[in-house]
Chains A and B, each alone.
Chain A
Amino acid sequence: MNFNATLIGQLVTFAIFVWFTMKFVWPMLLKQMEERETRIADGLAAAEQGQKDFAEAQEKSSAEINKGKEQAATIIAQAQKRHDEIVDEAKDDAKAESDRIKENALSEIEQEKEKARQELRNQVAALAIAGAEQILMKEVDQAAHNEVLAKISQQL
């Protein structure tokens, strides 16, 4: 163990290297690492935020879909109801119309019947007169017997 100037040389070298590290290495490395740390933290936070946003959007969209579904269901129900109403209305209308037509037909028939009956009556009366003429072999005075004839035709 003989000491010589190497001791001083090493001391000076040591000082120079420490100075160099302090000046050019340590602060830059620490700064760089800190920057990366914050960047990574930011990135993680952003990712988390994104995930949260995505979940929120998903929730929102599913709520929207549910709402839409509900709306569609009500619309369908309303439509169904309306459809039923229309069908009922149509049925009612048709029934009323058919009733009216039936009534008309009936009254017409009645009228026709009445007319036919009247005609028949008249014809019967004429026939009856003709018959009576035949039987009596003489002219029947229509005017004189009108009252009787009317009576007969009334009974027919």
Chain B
Amino acid sequence: MASGTELTSNSYLQHHLQNLVLGKLPEGYERAGGHIVEHSSWTFAHSPQEALDMGFWSLNVDTMGWSIFLGMIFCFFFYRVAKKVESGAPSGFANLIEMTVEFVNKNVNDIMTVKNPLIGPLALTIFIWITLMNTMDIVPVDLLPLIAQFVTGNEHLYFKVVPTTDPNITFGLSLGVFILIIYYSIKMKGVGGFIGELAFQPFGKYMIPFNLILEGIGLLAKPVSLALRLFGNLYAGELIFLLIATLIGSALPYFIGTIFGGALQFVWAVFHILIILLQAFVFMMLTIVYLAMAHEHH
């Protein structure tokens, strides 16, 4: 493979894996083009390094935007069905939504020993929202970025469309779950009960430091594993789509790369449907299980 092609596919990958970041650059910062920022101002990052230098108070406009948009789609359609008083048999779409609700409700009721009106809506939101966000992976990798570049007129625009390939999004979700785990642990068992659970298990009161380390890791592992599992699966899936996409434009004789790459994209997309649903399901189930554990006394 020629070095030029390598560089192209490398920059192609890097470009696709960079979020569109809105943030504040400090005064005197030298931008990617050599331009020096005179006044500290809010702007979009032009390179991964710039995005990094914007620090914590910057926003991934693309993934955040898609996340909110997809969440609103979820709310809109479910609200429309929920609002409509169906007298007779439900129509096709309402049926699909009711099937989903029934499925989630059944899982919640099977796992939860304590009734909690929050868990059902929470599980439903997680399941549908993550499914929708994951489904963005099926959209051809270059389609939406190209449209965005065309619309804005900026051909170097960063644009990631799959929110769950952004760790900020997955950790945002798992952090919410983590807060609920701690909230319900303390609500159901009291502060003492919660700390006692951390301190006196599994080896009794003479091993408190060891217990604390063990249980603390176990507790922290919940949100981290939730977020990383989802992120890892989707990020890897996205990366494979991108790698196959580079094959299409590779040094192979033109039509071989295109046909082979196109076929591989299709095969991977079909396989990816499984991952999309499975990861959304796993996230939901683990959320329910963790919250059920938070409600129970050990």
B181 within 8 Å of A (CB atoms): no
CB <8 Å contact, A4 and B56: yes
CB <8 Å contact, B168 and A26: no
CB <8 Å contact, A29 and B55: no
Task: Report whether over half of chain B's contact residues are helix, strand or loop; otherwise say mixed.
Answer: helix
Task: Report whether over half of chain A's contact residues are helix, strand or loop; otherwise say mixed.
Answer: helix
CB <8 Å contact, B79 and A25: yes
* CB closest residue in chain A, given B86: A32
Docked complex: A6-43 residues within 8 A CB-CB of B: 6-11, 13-15, 17-18, 20-22, 24-30, 32-33, 36
CB <8 Å contact, B171 and A22: no
B85 within 8 Å of A (CB atoms): yes
CB <8 Å contact, A25 and B98: no
Give chain A nearest CB distance to B153 CB in angstroms. 25
CB <8 Å contact, A9 and B98: no
A1 within 8 Å of B (CB atoms): yes
CB <8 Å contact, A30 and B64: no
Residues of A contacting B23 in the complex (Cβ-Cβ under 8 angstroms)? 4
* CB closest residue in chain A, given B54: A4
CB <8 Å contact, B82 and A32: yes
CB <8 Å contact, B101 and A10: no
CB <8 Å contact, A14 and B172: yes
Chain A interface residue number, banded: 20 to 34
Chain B interface residue number, banded: 35 or more
CB <8 Å contact, A11 and B175: yes
Kindly state the separation between the CA atoms of A9 and B172 in the bound complex, as whole angstroms: 8
Kindly state the separation between the CA atoms of A42 and B81 in the bound complex, as whole angstroms: 24
B74 within 8 Å of A (CB atoms): yes
With A18-B121, A26-B120, A32-B85 as contacts: A4 and B101 at CB distance below 8 Å: no
* CB closest residue in chain B, given A31: B82
CB <8 Å contact, B121 and A21: yes
B166 within 8 Å of A (CB atoms): yes
Kindly state the separation between the CA atoms of A57 and B270 in the bound complex, as whole angstroms: 59
Interface membership of chain B positions 163-195, coded 1 if the CB is closer than 8 angstroms to chain A and 0 otherwise = 000111101110110000000000000000000
Kindly state the separation between the CA atoms of A154 and B57 in the bound complex, as whole angstroms: 174
Residues of B contacting A155 in the complex (Cβ-Cβ under 8 angstroms)? none
A5 within 8 Å of B (CB atoms): yes
State the A residues within 8 Å of B (CB): 1-11, 13-15, 17-18, 20-22, 24-30, 32-33, 36
Cross-chain pairs A/B with CB under 8 angstroms, 21 sampled = A4-B168, A5-B57, A6-B19, A6-B168, A9-B59, A11-B175, A11-B176, A13-B172, A14-B125, A18-B118, A18-B122, A20-B75, A22-B117, A24-B75, A25-B82, A28-B82, A28-B83, A29-B78, A30-B105, A32-B98, A36-B86
Given A4-B21, A13-B68: 18 more A-B contacts, CB < 8 Å: A4-B56, A4-B59, A6-B59, A6-B63, A6-B169, A10-B64, A10-B67, A10-B168, A10-B169, A17-B74, A18-B122, A18-B125, A18-B176, A20-B79, A24-B79, A29-B81, A30-B101, A36-B90
State the B residues within 8 Å of A (CB): 19, 21, 23, 51-52, 54-60, 63-64, 67-68, 71, 74-75, 78-79, 81-83, 85-86, 90, 97-98, 101-102, 105, 117-118, 120-122, 124-125, 129, 166-169, 171-173, 175-176
